[in-house]
Structure 1
Amino acid sequence: MGDLISPVGSPLSSACSLSPPPSPMVYLSPPPSQDSEPSAASNDLPPARKKRRVTAPPKERRTQLLDLSATSGLSHAQQQSQIDLLTKTIRRHRKIVVIAGAGISTSAGIPDFRSTDGLFKSLQKKHNLKASGKLLFDAAVYQDENLTASFQDMVRSLSEEAAKTSPTAFHHMLARLGQEGRLTRLYTQNIDGIETSMPPLATQIPLNVKAPWPRTIQLHGSLDKVVCQKCRHLTDFDSAMFDRPDAPECPECSRNNQFRIETGQRSHGVGKMRPRIVLYNEHNPDEEAITSVMNADIRSRPDALIVVGTSLKIPGVRRLVKSLCHVIRSRRNGVTMWINNEPPVGRDFEDCWDLMVKGNCEEVARLANLKRWDDQSDSVFDECSLSEVERVKSEQDVSIVVQTQTPKKKQKTQTAAQDSQPCQPWTESQRGASGDQSDRTEEEGPTEGCTAQNQQEGTGDQECDHQFEVQGCQAPERCDRQQGTQAGKG
């Protein structure tokens, strides 16, 4: 057959022209899958550069000093910025860690340990010790009968003294933080048990190695419990057990030993009861659990640290404070505070604090002004300092315009006689007299004649265009109109 001919001829082409060849069909292949091997050309390209996350520059840190001691001679107004930092941290931060020492209990009547009139000095004089009273807090007290007798007497006295005390204002402040859920942890070195006497600061004895953990961690134990040195039997503290010079026997060991003897078994001996406190040169039974709690709190990245009432002589506590200071100060809003009568000892703490407060922690609680933990009343307002008020006023350029309105005058009930009397025009003598009375105030009211009708019809001062001509008449045009009406009637 011959060449194909188009079935329909175009008027612009000859009848025998060949049809144009069909355009080739292009098949768009799908993009290569991620599993396919890269081509050789793509291997020659340099790898894409990783995007760097732009971080804000670190916050400039400097240590501020706040002297709340009675001998400072500085008023609160002179230290307002430091007080604002103190109160703002306590009132607003959400993850606060507190490390407390014996200084928070001195206001309750419990002496501290290392001051000139502290417990170590008083024990040395009372028991005629050759060395410091620190010797009675050493594990060697159970190796000497005389030291054991002195230790028994000291423990009984401390327990009775702690039972008579009440929580201080600072204790209540800590309990309030715990009640609000803003106290991540309270590490206390005290053995008096004042903190844990309040439900928001309750603890657990012994501590669990794994979470959950209580809010209060007693680093050195407490006088609330006694434990057997042999079978680890745990029971509540009873001061009557320490009336004798030697350590009391464990009741659990005594029962088990008596049963063994009666059944013809060999005796295992009877253990001695002692307070569940950690003495120098002995192992802490909660060491593993405390280490787990510390590591978990460091990983949680708290936003505030308050070290109060301690001299940081214990190496383990010093390490914890340094680690927390490093983590918290790496946060832009993190704040670390030192509250004590004396500054921290050692150069390793020189660059650890945002605020160093010299003074009693009771004054800190007074400035924070938090409600007691058992106060269930709702706050109707939040307190703020003067500097916060000025800052808000400077940030918000708001001007308040109060538009004063002319008070509406009471409408007087008009009699028929007053309605029938038109307003009389003023004479020239009256106009002259009105000039002498130009100092009359608006409170003196308009003159008779115009007032009644003007008020009845609801006309205001805006309708009176000629007040400068006739004093007292608030609608002179209306008076002229009525005068013309009367003239027409006449």
Structure 2
Amino acid sequence: MVPTFRSKDGLFSEGGKEMFFHTSTPTEEMQQSRKLGELAEKMIHAVPTPFHHILADLSERGKLHRLYTQNIGELDTCFEYLKADLYEKACFQKVANPHIWTIQLHGGMRTTRCHIAGHIDQLNPQALINGRQETLLCAPCSIRSAEQARKRRKRRKRMGLGLGIKEANIVMYNKNPNDNKSERDTGFIQYDADKVPVDLVIVCGTGATLVGIKDLIKTMSTNRASLWINTEEPPKIPGFTFTHK
């Protein structure tokens, strides 16, 4: 069973929040890798909820314009009509792409990203659990010749770095997301807020405790009908007046 994060008995209540902070020492990295691997294994075996099926059905019928999600388990993107843009390429020419339904604000636990070159690969939970560096080396980085690696790192201004390490493709609390992701997400938000006429903004599941999420809700909900689905009252957000809860 995948634990919730911020509920009374959730993962954070047991001290699990530290696994989502970027670490730098080898010992901390191994501990973090093991915990993330164990969480990823649970997420991979999880199944979508009825609400996920409702979202997928709405999207398939053309009734859902976009899904912005904080969830990193990727149960939503398992559906054909809730696919995300896995590779997060430069975004502005793709903002209006009708085949990108889901924006993963915090990334996802089913893929890894090379911390140097940005290569995307499928996440292997056991590799993270074992924590052996040789299993976490980025394969494309490893097979490049020394000259190819030197030229590529020079272009990226990464001359002093070694081979890339595969990390869970999620946003850490104390680490800025990669530039492409920040640019891509901002582009989608601006486009959806300014250019897309929608009948209803649904805010579901989140407690909206993070400043960035509050700003997103404010941006999307201003002058639009909105629906709050949660067991708790929403926080006070300027411009957000829910029509039902």
Scaled by the length of structure 1, the TM-score of the pair is 0.44
Q: 1:165 to 1:351 in 2, by over 3 A?
A: closer
Give the conservation status (yes or no) of the 8 Å contact 1:158–1:192: no
Distance 2:33 2:172 in 1: 14
Note the C-alpha offset of 1:235. Answer: 1.2
- The equivalent residue for 1:426 is none
How is 1:373-384 mapped onto 2 (pairs within 5 angstroms)? Answer: none
Distance 1:224 1:311 in 2: 24
1:228 aligns with 2:111: no
- The equivalent residue for 1:85 is none
Give the conservation status (yes or no) of the 8 Å contact 1:301–1:327: no
Instruction: Flag structure 1 segments of 5+ consecutive residues without an equivalent.
Output: 1-108, 125-132, 329-334, 357-490
Root-mean-square deviation (CA, aligned residues, Å) is 2.3
Runs of 4+, deviation exceeding 6 Å: none
Give the conservation status (yes or no) of the 8 Å contact 2:21–2:174: yes
2:232 to 307, 329, 342: 342
How is 1:208-223 mapped onto 2 (pairs within 5 angstroms)? Answer: 208=89, 209-210=91-92, 211=94, 212-213=96-97, 214-223=100-109
Paired AA for residue 213 in structure 2: V
- The equivalent residue for 1:204 is 85
Note the C-alpha offset of 1:281. Answer: 2.0
Note the C-alpha offset of 1:237. Answer: 1.2
How is 1:30-69 mapped onto 2 (pairs within 5 angstroms)? Answer: none
- The equivalent residue for 2:12 is 120
2:216 to 297, 305, 320: 320
Note the C-alpha offset of 1:233. Answer: 1.7
Instruction: Flag structure 2 segments of 5+ consecutive residues without an equivalent.
Output: 150-158
How is 1:416-431 mapped onto 2 (pairs within 5 angstroms)? Answer: none
- The equivalent residue for 2:169 is 276
Distance 2:228 2:6 in 1: 18
Deviations 1:116-166 (A, max 9, x none): 2111123x2xxxxxxxx3222112x2x123321221122111221112221
- The equivalent residue for 2:21 is 138
The 3-state SS of whatever aligns with 2:38 is: helix
The 3-state SS of whatever aligns with 2:232 is: coil
1:255 aligns with 2:138: no
Scaled by the length of structure 2, the TM-score of the pair is 0.84
Q: 1:246 to 1:315 in 2, by over 3 A?
A: farther
Distance 2:26 2:142 in 1: 22
1:238 aligns with 2:124: yes
Give the conservation status (yes or no) of the 8 Å contact 1:260–1:267: no
Give the conservation status (yes or no) of the 8 Å contact 1:257–1:267: no
Q: 1:255 to 1:350 in 2, by over 3 A?
A: closer
Distance 1:267 1:318 in 2: 39
Distance 1:305 1:260 in 2: 48
Distance 1:121 1:352 in 2: 31
Distance 1:200 1:267 in 2: 42
Q: 1:351 to 1:267 in 2, by over 3 A?
A: closer
Distance 1:185 1:312 in 2: 18
- The equivalent residue for 1:352 is 241
How is 1:379-418 mapped onto 2 (pairs within 5 angstroms)? Answer: none
1:288 aligns with 2:171: no
Distance 1:147 1:197 in 2: 31
Note the C-alpha offset of 1:259. Answer: 7.0
Note the C-alpha offset of 1:273. Answer: 1.0
How is 1:417-456 mapped onto 2 (pairs within 5 angstroms)? Answer: none
The percent of aligned pairs where both chains have the same amino acid is 29
Give the conservation status (yes or no) of the 8 Å contact 1:187–1:217: yes
Q: 1:162 to 1:224 in 2, by over 3 A?
A: same
Distance 2:174 2:72 in 1: 17
Give the conservation status (yes or no) of the 8 Å contact 1:224–1:236: yes
